[in-house]
């Protein structure tokens, strides 16, 4: 493979190819990683630093320093910049839960959204307005937002974002979006928001996937179903875990016990060639579907640059050695990288 070859050029006519950036890369503290990011990707998402807990630590003060560096980096290299995330129950700034009164909570949430959307207006190209608002059965998650504002909070938050930044593409983002029940829930949700006058431009399928699940059929059908709503579809947090999935275990309970279970961390001394090949084939199959539906897909973003930087070394069990991305621990492209480049 000639060294000039890269992901962003390979897929330039198809969709944006993105990567989630950790704080070290954003802070220019990891120049080796930054070089790979510049060469390979044309879209960036902040892995953590735009979450409410970090960017809006107190009700009346913001911490824009890292986020501004993130945006400056994207502008410098002419990248598509995705904002993650305005409304999420997790990594939520603690001040939200100190507000008792519903109306006051709603007003503070509106201000949270509008202040962020205003600060990044014209810089952030698209937003995850809401992250992970659905349960697996397609009902609405009992978050503080649902409790305080009622189910129409979803429409409100999309409206508020659009009022301030009508040009940004606004996404609903979630995991397990290929699960049929959750998919129906997402479709109902987006239809309702639109009926109520909210602006939704896209659906983000996080894409935290495994070697054998979800099935290719489920992935493809989900892309088709979401696209049929008249919105863009993005794959927003792609990684493919090669490790046993504790959620699959009968009666699984995520507990310390798993950390002492050797079977849960089988590749701490390296990835066998056979699994390397399995991963490459899985990525090839997945990208085949993306390419088949490139007219429906706006962006494919990987959740981290290299295996060593992946959150999946620590989730849902701490201290494992996972290999979910296209670049290895030395930032070298893996067989999975070659397999998707070879599709073109
Ligand atoms: C993860 C980050 O990768 C970790 O560094 C952090 O500790 C927890 O959050 N869904 C999302 C992402 O929308 O924001 C999460 O990112 C992964 C799951």
Per residue, the 3-state secondary structure of 258-296, as one string, reads HHCCHHHCCCCCCCCHHHHHHHHHHHHHHHHHHHHCCCC
Task: State the catalytic residues.
Answer: 132, 237
Rounded to whole angstroms, the Cα distance separating 31 from 150 reads 46
SS3 112: helix
Token code pair at residue 48: 């953590």
Tell me which of 41 and 249 has the higher pLDDT: 41
Question: Residue with structure tokens 């050797």?
Answer: 262
Evaluate whether ipTM surpasses 0.95: yes
Count Cβ neighbours within 10 Å for each residue of 177-191 and write b for 16 or more, e otherwise. bbbeebbebbbebbe
The predicted model gives 62-66 an average pLDDT of: 98
Relative to the CA of 88, which ligand 1 atom is closest?
A: 13
315 CA distance to ligand 1 middle (Å): 9
Is it the case that residue 159 has pLDDT exceeding 70? yes
Listed in sequence order, the residues at least 6 apart from 190 whose beta carbon sits closer than 8 Å to its beta carbon are 172, 200, 203, 229, 231
Number of CB atoms found within 10 A of residue 292's CB: 12
Residues with CB under 6 A from ligand 1: 47-48, 131, 206, 237, 311
> How many angstroms separate the first and last alpha carbons of the chain?
13
The CATH architecture annotation of domain 7-243+262-341 reads Alpha-Beta Barrel (3.20)
45 CA distance to ligand 1 middle (Å): 11
Testing ligand 1's pocket by substitution, the residue of 26, 44, 47 carrying the most ligand atoms inside 8 A of its CB is 47
pLDDT recorded at residue 164: 98
Strands 80-87 and 43-46: parallel
Mean pLDDT computed over every residue of the chain: 96
Listed in sequence order, the residues at least 6 apart from 275 whose beta carbon sits closer than 8 Å to its beta carbon are 211, 242, 267, 323
pTM: 0.97
Is it the case that residue 55 has pLDDT exceeding 80? yes
Is it the case that residue 173 has pLDDT exceeding 50? yes
Rounded to whole angstroms, the Cα distance separating 181 from 194 reads 20
Q: pLDDT class for 1, splitting at 50, 70, 90?
A: very low
């Amino acid at each position: 493979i000639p060294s000039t070859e890269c992901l962003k050029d390979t897929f330039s006519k198809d969709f944006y190819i993105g990567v989630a950036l950790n704080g070290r890369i954003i802070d220019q503290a990891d120049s080796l990683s930054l070089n790979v990011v510049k060469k390979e990707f044309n879209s960036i998402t902040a892995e953590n630093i735009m979450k409410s807990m970090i960017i809006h630590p107190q009700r009346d003060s913001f911490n824009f320093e890292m986020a501004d560096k993130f945006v400056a980096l994207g502008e410098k290299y002419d990248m598509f910049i995705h904002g993650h995330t305005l409304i999420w129950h997790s990594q939520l700034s603690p001040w939200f839960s100190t507000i008792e009164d519903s109306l006051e909570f709603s007003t503070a949430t509106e201000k949270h959204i509008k202040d962020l959307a205003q600060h990044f207006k014209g810089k952030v190209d698209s937003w995850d307005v809401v992250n992970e608002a659905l349960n697996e059965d397609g009902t609405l998650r009992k978050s503080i937002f649902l409790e305080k504002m009622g189910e129409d909070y979803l429409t409100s938050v999309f409206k508020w974002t659009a009022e301030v930044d009508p040009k940004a593409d606004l996404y609903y983002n979630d995991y397990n979006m290929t699960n049929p029940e959750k998919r129906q829930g997402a479709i109902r949700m987006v239809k309702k928001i639109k009926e109520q006058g909210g602006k939704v431009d896209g659906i983000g399928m996080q894409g935290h996937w495994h070697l054998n699940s979800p099935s290719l059929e489920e992935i493809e059908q989900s892309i088709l179903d979401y696209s049929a709503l008249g919105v863009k579809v993005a794959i927003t947090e792609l990684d493919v875990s090669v490790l046993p999935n504790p959620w699959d275990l009968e009666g699984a309970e995520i507990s310390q016990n798993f950390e002492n279970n050797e079977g849960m961390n089988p590749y701490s001394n390296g990835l066998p060639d056979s699994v390397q090949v399995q991963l490459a084939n899985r990525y090839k199959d997945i990208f085949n579907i993306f390419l088949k539906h490139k007219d429906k897909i706006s962006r494919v973003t990987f959740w981290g640059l290299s295996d060593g930087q992946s959150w999946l070394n620590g989730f849902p069990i701490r201290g494992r050695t996972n290999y979910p991305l296209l670049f290895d621990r030395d930032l070298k492209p893996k067989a999975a990288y070659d397999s998707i480049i070879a599709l073109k």
